[in-house]
Structure 1
Amino acid sequence: MSAQLNHTIVWCRNKQISASFLVEILGLPAPEPFGPMLIVKLENGVSLDYYDNDPPIASQHYAFLVSDDDFDAAFARLQARQQAWWADPCKQQPQQINDYGGGRRVYFDDPDGHLLEIFTRE
């Protein structure tokens, strides 16, 4: 059997705010409407489908493998927004960059409290 992740729904309070946040930080094309959702397409064919939902929103984790140059650009955008970031998913190492495996990674929250991660090495 061959299986690939195609899409996942991201529950949020305001799909426009949340989807726009992600595309701004990652430098992605604008989200596209599809029915009641806003779709953020990633380079590998997977999409995040933002869907409005009433609170409470259960926090999820979304990790994005990026190139070194894309990491630099996304990290600069985080800093320009004065966005808090951490080197670890438990948020015990604020304003630090994790160098696990010879790469770089940081964790940060989106507007709905989902924990996002950008990293350069698997």
Structure 2
Amino acid sequence: MSVQLNHTIVWCHDKHRSANFLTGLLGLDSPTPFGPFLVVELSNGVSLDYYETGREIASQHYAFLISEPEFDEIFGRIRDQGIAYWADPGKQKPNEINRHDGSRGLYFDDPDGHFLEIITRPYGSGG
């Protein structure tokens, strides 16, 4: 059996603002419309399908595995835009990055309060 995540819905208040925040920060292609969604395609074939709601949004966590050079580029955009970031999911280490498993990683919020993370190695991969 082969099971793969194909897509997930990301609830937001403004799909254009939220999808463009992510694509701009991560350096991804512009989102594309599909029905009521604005779709962000990731390089491993998974898509994040932004869907607007007027209701309260429960924060979700999305972690993105990136290369070391991509980390430098994205981290530069985070700093340039003055986005708060943390080395830990408990937000106890502001303005720091983590170095788990010989990686670099950090956490930050998107416009709807979803907790995003960038890492350069999967956790538990050693290093």
TM-score calculated relative to the size of structure 2 = 0.95
Overall identity of the aligned pairs, in %? 61
Distance across 1 between alignment mates of 2:56 and 2:90: 20
State the shift of 1:89 in Å. 0.7
Distance across 2 between alignment mates of 1:54 and 1:118: 28
User: Which residue of structure 2 lines up, in the alignment, with residue 10 of structure 1?
Assistant: 10
User: Which residue of structure 2 lines up, in the alignment, with residue 48 of structure 1?
Assistant: 48
User: Which residue of structure 1 lines up, in the alignment, with residue 60 of structure 2?
Assistant: 60
User: Which residue of structure 1 lines up, in the alignment, with residue 74 of structure 2?
Assistant: 74
Matches within 5 A, 1:1-122: 1-122=1-122
Distance across 2 between alignment mates of 1:120 and 1:55: 34
Give every structure 1 segment of 4 or more consecutive aligned residues whose post-TM-superposition deviation is greater than 3 Å: none
What's the Cα RMSD here?
A: 0.5
Distance across 1 between alignment mates of 2:51 and 2:62: 15
Unmatched 5+ stretches in structure 1: none
How many equivalent residue pairs? 122
TM-score calculated relative to the size of structure 1 = 0.99
- 3-state DSSP of counterpart to 1:107: strand
State the shift of 1:94 in Å. 0.2
State the shift of 1:28 in Å. 0.2
Unmatched 5+ stretches in structure 2: 123-127
